[in-house]
Structure 1
Amino acid sequence: MNMEILKARLVKGGRTMLSGLQEWQLGLVLVFPGLCTEDAPENIIDACNGFYCDGFRPNSDKKPALWTEDWNGWYAYWGGTVPHRPVQDNAFAVARFFQRGGSFQNYYMYFGGTNFGRTSGGPFYTTSYDYDAPIDEYGLLRQPKWGHLKDLHAAIKLCEPSLVSVDNSPQYKRLGPKQEAHVYNGPEYLNSNQSRNEIACSAFLANIDERNTARVTFRGRAYTLPPWSVSILPDCENVAFNTAKVNAQISVKSIEPGLSRPLDSGRSEELLLQLRDSSISMDWKTVKEPVGAWSESNFTVHGILEHLNVTKDTSDYLWYITRLHVSDEDISFSEENEDRSTVIIDSMRDIVHIFINGKLAGSTFGRWVKVVQPVDLQLGDNELAILSGTVGLQNYGAFLEKDGAGFRGGIKLTGLKSGEIDLSASLWTYQVGLKGEFMKIYAPDLQESADWVDLSSNSISSTLTWYKTYFDAPDGIVPVALDFESMGKGQAWVNGHNIGRFWSLVAPKNGCQETCDYRGAYNENKCAKNCGKLTQKWYHVPRSWLKSSDNLLVIFEETGGNPLGISVNLHYTRTICGSVSESDYPPLHRWTRQSSVHGRTSISNTTPEMQLQCDDGHVISDIVFASYGTPLGSCQHFSTGQCHADSSLSVVSNACLGRNNCSIEVSNAAFGSDPCQYTIKTLAVEASCTLSSNTGKSQL
């Protein structure tokens, strides 16, 4: 629970309750009795959650500064853009936290996930909880985020002796109007060969200017600080890492729907999902879900009941059913006034489908929005069946249990001669869930419980419809995803496992920046991606849920979709790129602490190095581009510049081809000569990854 949000919304009585909760917690036998609140009592450690916590101070100098949720991304909403937090900013936030005395920091999230089944919250959180995390929801590294943060952690680790030697705040030194240094120095870990005069020293130099590079002097040396960055000096002299300078590789994951051949290197997106057309059967079966009451478990009462109080969250769905009588006078009145009858719901959340006599009149979705739905009524009795659906429950905030679901206010019918009719007190029949859902027709051993028939063209794009087919799992160990772009909204099961809700909502066309500028404070709308595209179209299917063949896929479709467009896809890194300059920092593994230099952190070999790595089980199969000199462009768009070492391709090929990972020194010595004297050279490489021949065909 986010206690900062809760505390801000609590009334006086609520604060008393929170204090009681804290006292109760103290009575428990806990190793770490932490609580995320600013008003923690003496024996409870208060902590910080947020995008930045460098300004956080606990309410006692006896407590460490804890950052329990470092939001290194954000969740996606159905119909929204996909959030992206640039790693330069995330690294800046972490470095600033430790620069200013932080003790503990935890990422939320470090490993993305999937909201299988009905576990997504929100409401309206997507099934994917990838969160732009350093490890994506499929378990693959997201580069350069993972690599850059790995280097950040290593740089901070090098400062450990100095960091733990200071009990209070580090020494502060102003370096400019928006530049500052924090210095940690104190006795190094002492042993019999060291005296207390042997001092370890580490420093953090920050430039919090959002626009301008700064040149500062620290301890007699000049340092260049990019805007919105922190430089880490483990020995108070040499820079080991700067948060704005990313040397980690880029892993390009592209999309080529409908192709089974290698992808065009000119396309770049967030996922590589290589289609295997032959892996899914075209032999589809279907069965209709009945509209309205379908079992003896339904009940009838006067009035509108709250959705969750009825369903107890056993299903997303709840039917509200009542009957309407239309007279000859009503029909004549409507025709004379050209006024259609309209169902009005004062307030609704999350989605509602309105049926008249078994036919869909219309749908509305939103968070406590008004519904105005014209309907076509026939002479005599009419059945009004309203299917209320939840898309995740409220999962944070004060009084979340009061948020509820379904309807608030009244339900009215207009357009009849008698005027507005209040249906709120009418007799309503309630039916929890779907027939197919409660009969578990998605389970492999219960397929005979439904009257499945062959899919016909008339059944495609119909509402409230179940579909099923079988598919074979792609060979290998590569993660699997299903492409549901052709579907509408519903849920899907593979071999009885609910892989989550699907919903083909398109994000707004506006709101994404052509170039993501890491500089300046981040929020969840900055650097957003995926404008004008489906918020989510691929759905993760864990390999552990799959068999080598005959995997049962069952789909419930609410609004209408085409199951023939579903495909089975593979998710892996196809292209990796690197760009490292002679002027960049050496790899952090070169730093050492040796007694010969009084236990201080030091470095001798300062040659930069490029490191490349494919996914596990994959090897570098092709060097698409390599140039040591003055290459131009960016990943997948590299070109040689005026300066180029002829040995570039051979050196990189010898070091990398056929290997899962490789390292290349960025120096004249590594490439045999200096292709252009008095010029800072850069090594740029683009390589392709393929499944290793040593990897087994299947691990299902």
Structure 2
Amino acid sequence: MKSLYYMLISLMPMVMFFDIIQCSDSIQVSASYLPYLQFRDRPYNVSGSMRSLHLNDVPVLIQSGSMHYPRIHPDDWLSMIQLVKSTGINCISIYVFWSYHEVEPGVYDWTSERRNIFQFIELAKSEGLLVLLRIGPYVDGEWSYGGLPVWLRPFTEKYKDIKIRTVNQLWQMEMQTFTETVIKYLHPLFASNGGPIFMVQIENEYDNIAHAFPPADAVAYMQWASDMAHSICSICYWITCKYENVDIKTNNANNNYYSGDWLRNIHWPKHNYTQPGITTENWIGSPGWTQFGSAKPHRPIQDFTYSITQYIAYGAAMHNTYMIYGGTNYGRVVGRTHTTTYSFDPPILEIGIPNNNHFNHLKHLLNTINYYVPALLSVGDNPPPLVNITTKGVASVNYTSPTNISAQSVIFLINNNDKLDQTVVLAGSSYTVSAWSALIIDGHSKAIVYNSANLSDNTLFKLITAQFKNFSSIQYLPEPSLISSIFTNNNKYKLKKSSFHVTLPVTNTSVMQEHYSTTLDKSDYLTYTTSIQLNESDINRENLTLRLPMRCESLFIFLNGKWQTSIFTQANEFNVTTILNITDLKLKPYSIVELKLVGATMGLDSYGIHLENMGRGLAFKLNDTVIFNGKNIVSNKWNYQIGLIGEDKEYFNPINNTNLPWKPISNQSPNKLSNFNWFRLTFQTPANLINNSSNLYQVNMTGMYKGLLYINGYSLGRYLTIKAPTKDPIPLCDYRGSYDPSKCRYDWGEPTQILYHFSAHLLNNNGKENELIIFEETDAIPTQVYIKITAIESSY
């Protein structure tokens, strides 16, 4: 990836922190855009006033971008930080994902897989970037259970009385312990030690759920969170997000598509004009509103840059792009039904190159703002007024020193009317401001240096692509746990054990077990098995009925080892009624049959009120029933198998799978196989498409439906290829007017996600073959799978 970065910076004018260089026809970038370089490795303090944040009392303007270390392969961390930096940002915003680090109560992992947050922050430091550390520890972030660990749920005895995100002793104790642990572990990287972490967030978007609690409890909880945070680190600059009622010592920030009016009409008045305006999330790429089965979102860059320009003009101290680079939901970390990609149409694509829809136009804006930072901050805590130029929505903000006419100055013209282009005269010059757009005008030359509606600066990168289908072999192996019976010859029960757990962590015979409290999130799959004795009237029927509540995405039903039916749903709860066919089982009166239910989940909800009550699985609530041919069998003895045998034995690991009895698939033999198979596709690493450019890889999962994907033993996450609904006609996408997630969607009638990214660092370059391992739940045609390869045209 490093070679790609160096090729990119040769193609794009790079902002250098040690000098001032030309970056467009009219704008140069000031050296002050990387303020951390003045303080790196020297202790500094952070404070805030109405107009700006301050490092050692030096006012700064923070242009930030979100990127999440667990969603990026560690070998790509540096190159992606460098590419993000090239947009003109001076800060990286990251969440700390509690469930990813405290893997068991009191057991922390800061180094394996993509968990080395310390190293990631040190890389940001090496590039001169500040870091906003968003501890939460509830973060949402489309992470399963909002980033909270699954063991912190009321389905276990220890936490049966827990209520999260409110006044509750169990929750507050665990929240404080984790916050203390993070602060202690990352302490060397804080501002007080010369590190890049200059700001820390406690809690997240609390106003979204405050209504679910008594008002006094909501206020008391957030006041406690603020006091707790300051007791852990009294010299840290603490913020929260979307809760204006917290005390003045914790800075409230905003999450929204537009923050200009919030700043002037809500935030400043609420806090007596003492708190700077901070936005922790201005959404582009919309990963939070993209689920499997939905059309893909697109926020037009003209709307995004209009919102930033308006916010900066109105007096923002810090703006953050969420996500500037989204990355990939590797493994099974993502929240329920959200896509494996976390990068729908962001400024930098998931494969790690600039997005032609957004990149250069956004970069031009950020660099223009960086150049005018001296003028923007020269006013101190006396921001210029917002002057209405017309009665139809055009306003101006003029950052000009009244005492020093030679000082840098800048004028903003903002047209907040979403329909009318308007022409105005300002200081003797005439300007046409398109509807829903903003102009940045140099105060001395009166030249327009940025126009949010004009995309002529958005020079495109030229890409070439190829399809790689040259697999050395394509093989398959049925999942063993679903093709064998649990009965011995004398019909005695035989419990199948999984090494995931020696014993189940929960025992409750009155209901079936809730999925995550049983599996502890070791697998998406939980198999429930019981035996049922049939009477004579049952045997005389051709069919039996089964009814039960389903709170998982997939359910597979087997009777005496024979597959009966499969159900897939994205509903939170689905009441199943199905017919079981027994005509081929050759049963006698009083025979014992085996009922096997395989439930598969796709994560816990990442957002919502009273998350602790949202379990997953089959019939685990007290009043649930499982009706088998008229009889409630919910209290039967149920045996549980956690996960798949192939997961337990790591069929996806090249070290373990070479001696397995893989069966070949060829184009001459039947390609379509029945449910529950592991597939092994082997191939040599392809040569680079072009010289001086890195290949970028995605697996195209055409022919497959739903399952798990691995490359050389590394989990690329879940895949699901269901299509979005069709829409005819497709609405036109007009950037003018307020954006929301239902606006400007594309690929109606197409799979939400067919491409699954993996880092080039995962491939073997020593002549050793690579293994693409797929576990597929349903029938599939693995011969249609191929690898899409992308590269930037080096001659551009």
Higher mean C-alpha displacement, 518-527 vs 299-308 = 299-308
SS of corresponding position for 2:794: strand
Q: 1:274 aligns with which of 463, 466, 475?
A: 466
Q: 1:289 aligns with which of 480, 491, 515?
A: 480
CA shift digits 1:42-86 (9 cap, x unpaired)? 110100012111122333211100011110121221111111111
Q: Does 1:50 align with 2:256?
A: yes
Partner residue, 2:602: 391
Partner residue, 1:362: 566
Partner residue, 2:713: 496
Partner residue, 1:465: 677
SS of corresponding position for 2:453: coil
SS of corresponding position for 1:55: helix
Using the TM superposition, give the Cα deviation of residue 238 of structure 1 relative to its aligned residue in structure 2, in angstroms: 2.0
Partner residue, 2:578: 373
Higher mean C-alpha displacement, 299-308 vs 51-60 = 299-308
Please tell me whether the aligned partners of residues 671 and 781 of structure 2 are also in contact (alpha carbons under 8 angstroms).
no
Greater C-alpha Rg: 1
Distance change >3 Å, CA 320–CA 210, structure 1 → 2: same
Distance change >3 Å, CA 318–CA 184, structure 1 → 2: same
SS of corresponding position for 1:394: coil
Distance change >3 Å, CA 444–CA 347, structure 1 → 2: closer
Please tell me whether the aligned partners of residues 512 and 527 of structure 1 are also in contact (alpha carbons under 8 angstroms).
no
Q: 1:244 aligns with which of 439, 442, 453?
A: 453
Using the TM superposition, give the Cα deviation of residue 461 of structure 1 relative to its aligned residue in structure 2, in angstroms: 2.5
Partner residue, 1:144: 357
Q: Does 1:524 align with 2:728?
A: no
Using the TM superposition, give the Cα deviation of residue 387 of structure 1 relative to its aligned residue in structure 2, in angstroms: 1.2
Please tell me whether the aligned partners of residues 479 and 644 of structure 2 are also in contact (alpha carbons under 8 angstroms).
no
Partner residue, 1:634: none
Q: Does 1:211 align with 2:415?
A: no
Partner residue, 2:224: 20
Using the TM superposition, give the Cα deviation of residue 511 of structure 1 relative to its aligned residue in structure 2, in angstroms: 7.5
Amino acid at match of 1:374: I
Please tell me whether the aligned partners of residues 348 and 371 of structure 1 are also in contact (alpha carbons under 8 angstroms).
no
SS of corresponding position for 2:423: strand
Please tell me whether the aligned partners of residues 185 and 199 of structure 1 are also in contact (alpha carbons under 8 angstroms).
no
Higher mean C-alpha displacement, 231-240 vs 506-515 = 506-515
Partner residue, 2:300: 86
Q: 1:328 aligns with which of 536, 545, 551?
A: 536
Amino acid at match of 2:358: K
Please tell me whether the aligned partners of residues 100 and 182 of structure 1 are also in contact (alpha carbons under 8 angstroms).
no
Please tell me whether the aligned partners of residues 538 and 544 of structure 2 are also in contact (alpha carbons under 8 angstroms).
no
Q: Distance in 1 between matches of 2:480 and 2:441?
A: 65
Higher helix share: 2
Partner residue, 1:124: 337
The within-5 A match list for 1:374-523 is 374-377=579-582, 378=585, 379=587, 380-408=591-619, 409=621, 410-413=624-627, 416=629, 420-448=630-658, 450-455=660-665, 457=669, 460-476=672-688, 477-510=694-727, 513=730, 515-523=732-740
Distance change >3 Å, CA 284–CA 389, structure 1 → 2: same
Distance change >3 Å, CA 197–CA 85, structure 1 → 2: closer
Please tell me whether the aligned partners of residues 490 and 558 of structure 1 are also in contact (alpha carbons under 8 angstroms).
yes
Please tell me whether the aligned partners of residues 473 and 683 of structure 2 are also in contact (alpha carbons under 8 angstroms).
no
Using the TM superposition, give the Cα deviation of residue 503 of structure 1 relative to its aligned residue in structure 2, in angstroms: 1.1
Q: Distance in 2 between matches of 1:459 and 1:223?
A: 64
CA shift digits 1:204-259 (9 cap, x unpaired)? 111122122111222232211111111111316221111111113464889xxxxx
Amino acid at match of 2:546: V
TM-score where L is the length of structure 1: 0.73
Partner residue, 1:96: 310
Partner residue, 1:304: 512
Using the TM superposition, give the Cα deviation of residue 326 of structure 1 relative to its aligned residue in structure 2, in angstroms: 2.8
Using the TM superposition, give the Cα deviation of residue 496 of structure 1 relative to its aligned residue in structure 2, in angstroms: 0.7
Using the TM superposition, give the Cα deviation of residue 196 of structure 1 relative to its aligned residue in structure 2, in angstroms: 4.2
Partner residue, 1:160: 373
Q: Distance in 2 between matches of 1:196 and 1:244?
A: 32
SS of corresponding position for 1:540: strand
CA shift digits 1:390-429 (9 cap, x unpaired)? 2122223443233221135424335x4xxx2222222211
**% identity of equivalent residues:** 27
Q: Distance in 2 between matches of 1:199 and 1:283?
A: 69
SS of corresponding position for 1:519: coil
Distance change >3 Å, CA 463–CA 250, structure 1 → 2: farther
Amino acid at match of 2:292: W
Partner residue, 1:561: 780
Number of residues paired by the alignment? Answer: 543
Q: 1:351 aligns with which of 554, 566, 590?
A: 554
Q: Distance in 1 between matches of 2:516 and 2:437?
A: 48
SS of corresponding position for 1:486: coil
TM-score where L is the length of structure 2: 0.65
SS of corresponding position for 1:284: strand
SS of corresponding position for 2:366: helix
SS of corresponding position for 1:114: coil
Partner residue, 1:317: 525
Higher strand share: 1
Amino acid at match of 1:83: P
Please tell me whether the aligned partners of residues 484 and 567 of structure 1 are also in contact (alpha carbons under 8 angstroms).
yes
Aligned Cα RMSD in Å?
2.4
Q: Distance in 2 between matches of 1:186 and 1:210?
A: 28
Amino acid at match of 1:494: I
Amino acid at match of 2:640: Y
